[in-house]
Structure 1
Amino acid sequence: MEERNKVILDTVSDMLARGDLERAVRTIADLHAADSANVLTGLVAQDEIEILITLDPAAAARILLEMEESHQVEVAARLRTGELHELLDRMPVDEAVDLLGDVPAARMARLLRLFGRQEAFDLEELLSYEDDTAGGLMTTDYFSVSPDATVEETIEQLRRVSPDVETIYYVYVVSEEGLLDGVLSLRELIVSGPDRRVGDMISENVITLKPLQDQEEVAEIISKYDLLAAPVVDDRKRMLGIVTVDDVMDVFTDEADEDIMRFAGATGLEEDADPGGLMANFWRRTPWFVAAVIIEMLVAGGVLKLSFPLFGKFVALVFFIPLLVTMGGNIAVQSSTIMGRWLSTGAPLKRTTLRHVSSEMGWGVMVGLLTGGIVAGASFAFHQDAWVGIVVGLSLALTVIAAALVGCAFPVTMKVLKRDPGAISGPLIGTTMDVLSLAIYLGIGRLLIW
């Protein structure tokens, strides 16, 4: 919490302790919704609820939306059904649906009965889609007109309905049957003559989304075409809603969090998720590490056992094992991250593979030769044995080159298999390089000096 908000929190707490609820509410109302949410979250639950239900419902709804999702659910559970309906009714439809989806089914049914018939229908339709699809992201609050409307009529209608529409980036031209005919930007509308028919001005080559499209694909489309919003249509081109760029920003954040957790081998965890107890946490995070231990024990252990005679004769080689293993793992993870990032941009696989694999391999060769030369010189200086220096330096150079190749190969393989390139676990890459770097080191040692 920012220092300023800490001071406000203390001030509001003092006001409530003195029984001055009215001043506390005014203080909260004067803040930006994000700051209000930050301050309210720091209060005890009873005081937080008391201020929320005393605030203007529209302001309270904005504040609730600024809270973390998990805290929104806690607040919703403490509000009476009528109080929660007041806030939901003043939220954008897509945001209201997200919160409704976290409410127990019986209470959700009671809440839906409090909405008007059309509102309840819209909410139920949106609730039918999975959260991570275009249908789950979309809102039905958009501005549409008939293709026969004139520019002047459209602008007049826009003035009337604008307070009830979440965002107005584009004018959607929809036929009487509810089919999307085309899209018109606000700029095109404003600069056109008042008597022009909007149906004659529309762009018919519209980028559209399907309601069941995955949210990551939706985000890529909106980002690729620099859209502020994209219409969602069914197979008949019936207009269902729109996905806005604001929703897409949340998707990018969610996907990044998911990829980071997955790469760390902590699948199933989210930034604000409850770990769900010791055993649930154990089963989510342990599999990658158990697999890594088994591979290290069977493969790396076997390689080391076969090389005991070599270590007995050249003990100095043992001291450089941690260096090679660490460098191999670090380089592989870094290369995998970079390649996965490039692949996630949607570039053609062949072009991406040729350009970026060659770039990573070139970098690996340069780094390998540089670090290998440094280590070879240092090992010779310390141990006064040229062969030890050659083995260590050459092994490190080849390990770095192999690590760059392995790091590129993992995400490219996932892409070829039509799987998410981000679904590569860091522990798995690290273990692979542990085994490979040991094999390279001991293989060169046996070849040159055994």
Structure 2
Amino acid sequence: MVMEKSAWEKIIRYLRIRDKERTDILDDLLPQDLAEQIYRLSKEETIEVFSLLNNEEAALILGEMELEESAKAVALLSPKIAADMLSEMPYDDMTDLLGELDDDIAEGIISYMQKDDQEEVKGLLEYPKDSAGGIMTTEFISFKETITVKEAITKLREVAPSAETVYYLYTVDENDKLAGVVSLRELIVSQDEEVLSEIMRTTVLSVQANTDQEEVAHLVQKYNFLAVPVVDEGNKLLGIITVDDVMDVIEEETTEDILHLVGASEVEGSSLIDATVVSIAKTRLPWLIICLLGGLFSGSIISFFEETIDAVVALAFFMPVIMDMGGNVGAQSSTVFVRGVATGEIPESVMFKYFFKEIKVGILMGIICGITVSIAATLWQGSPLLGFVVGISMVCTVILATTIGTIIPIFFTKRGIDPAVTAGPFVTTIKDVTGLMIYFYIATIFMDKLM
């Protein structure tokens, strides 16, 4: 908190002084700190801050801001000033920011860019946002495989300042097709006269431009890469995806999955702070309506077994625990499965193997929970038979909950649909209904002896 307060005070001083002390203030203030504090500025103050920054400083700060917030800041500036600032950013960050802006604003900014920048940005904007091409950068280092180590080091000194990363150097053949990769360490320790083709690794894991960004994230996580090359169908090197972009993807995908698991979604076009009450409610209502309809259906089931409840009033005491346990177990199973699929821990090839393992887990949990609630019901109501009915209902409910909580996401995954959208409220609602049906059906069978 001390750092935030200090940063904020420096911004205020920065806005008021605007003299020779400006450089010293910026030297003391990290771009990350300033980026955090810009969120608290008014539109007029934001414009003033960026007017006092040079293009390189502004690009650094925009790169540290949340994408939506940086887009709002850029939209306040004139297209010419914004174009000059964005020209100092890596192409992938520049493209992401422009893609967040309204089309007319983005086109106005692009029109003021240099021709080379325009071509790069327009080319990257053609790829879907959630694809490898949409998150890659074209600022990478590649050399012909036929040059020597000495020549490569000489060229590296020239091109390194403009590259996104220098840890990996990619080698290409005479047709610019990806041939291999050389790490910076391997390059430095090699002899000057050695040719790159002699020291490069020819087994290079790459992705095509249309590969989903989530698949790229899994690849980086699995092999601990710092960057992944992106190629076209002919294996021509198009760009690279760096680990910092992958971290953004992981955060984005994780947030999306978590929201889906609780029956919500991200608010389109704005942050949670700036979004209207109506827009936030609209993202949550659809699944809640499903829950509401499920609740009404559950009520109709209770009404259908009204005679059973009237005959044995004690049955009503255990309705909440049957419904809650079914919903909780189903939500657990679906959450664990969705998370496993998202992280690659449960690949498609072993989904059904995992399903049968989950059933075994459900049986074990059902037996333990069933015995526990059976003992509690017997001691509370003094009826061993009631304890048996509640216990066996719990066993069946928990087993069915694990089945539904896993099989529904598997069903949708096999059909290419994100399993997260089927979890949470959807599975819970199904289990509320089926749990009650199991409970009252078993109770009805033993009703004569329970009375």
The TM-score, its normalising length taken from structure 2, stands at 0.91
- After TM superposition, list the pairs within 5 Å mapping 1:41-190 onto structure 2: 41-190=39-188
Structure 1 partner of 2:202: 204
Which stretch of the first structure deviates more once superposed, 328-337 or 169-178? Answer: 169-178
Corresponding letter in the other structure for 1:151: V
Which stretch of the first structure deviates more once superposed, 258-267 or 135-144? Answer: 258-267
- After TM superposition, list the pairs within 5 Å mapping 1:233-252 onto structure 2: 233-252=231-250
Deviation string for 1:71-92 (max 9, x for gaps)? 1112101122232122111111
Distance 1:286 1:40 in 2: 33
Distance 1:98 1:22 in 2: 34
Change beyond 3 A, Cα 1:29–1:233? same
Distance 1:275 1:32 in 2: 26
Structure 2 partner of 1:8: 7
2:145–2:196 Cα contact (<8 Å) kept: yes
Corresponding letter in the other structure for 2:421: A
Structure 2 partner of 1:310: 308
2:67–2:100 Cα contact (<8 Å) kept: no
Structure 2 partner of 1:288: 287
Distance 1:180 1:84 in 2: 35
Distance 2:378 2:217 in 1: 54
Distance 2:76 2:23 in 1: 19
1:233–1:241 Cα contact (<8 Å) kept: yes
Corresponding letter in the other structure for 1:285: R
Change beyond 3 A, Cα 1:286–1:56? same
Corresponding letter in the other structure for 1:80: S
Shift of 1:58: 1.4
Shift of 1:125: 0.6
Give RMSD over aligned pairs.
2.4
SS at match of 1:115: coil
- After TM superposition, list the pairs within 5 Å mapping 1:401-420 onto structure 2: 401-420=399-418
Shift of 1:358: 4.1
2:14–2:25 Cα contact (<8 Å) kept: no
Distance 1:321 1:147 in 2: 71
Distance 2:295 2:326 in 1: 15
Deviation string for 1:156-212 (max 9, x for gaps)? 111122111111121111234332222222222122110111133333332221111
Change beyond 3 A, Cα 1:29–1:424? farther
Identity %, equivalent residues: 33
Distance 2:11 2:193 in 1: 56
Corresponding letter in the other structure for 2:285: T
Distance 2:345 2:371 in 1: 38
Deviation string for 1:341-390 (max 9, x for gaps)? 22331644453432x33443333333322332222222222222222222
Distance 1:328 1:309 in 2: 24
- Report how many residues are paired: 446
2:129–2:135 Cα contact (<8 Å) kept: yes
Change beyond 3 A, Cα 1:281–1:38? closer
Where does the alignment leave 5 or more consecutive residues of structure 1 unmatched?
Answer: none
Distance 1:78 1:325 in 2: 52
Change beyond 3 A, Cα 1:197–1:292? same
1:448 aligns with 2:446: yes
1:134–1:213 Cα contact (<8 Å) kept: yes
Distance 1:292 1:7 in 2: 48
Where does the alignment leave 5 or more consecutive residues of structure 2 unmatched?
Answer: none
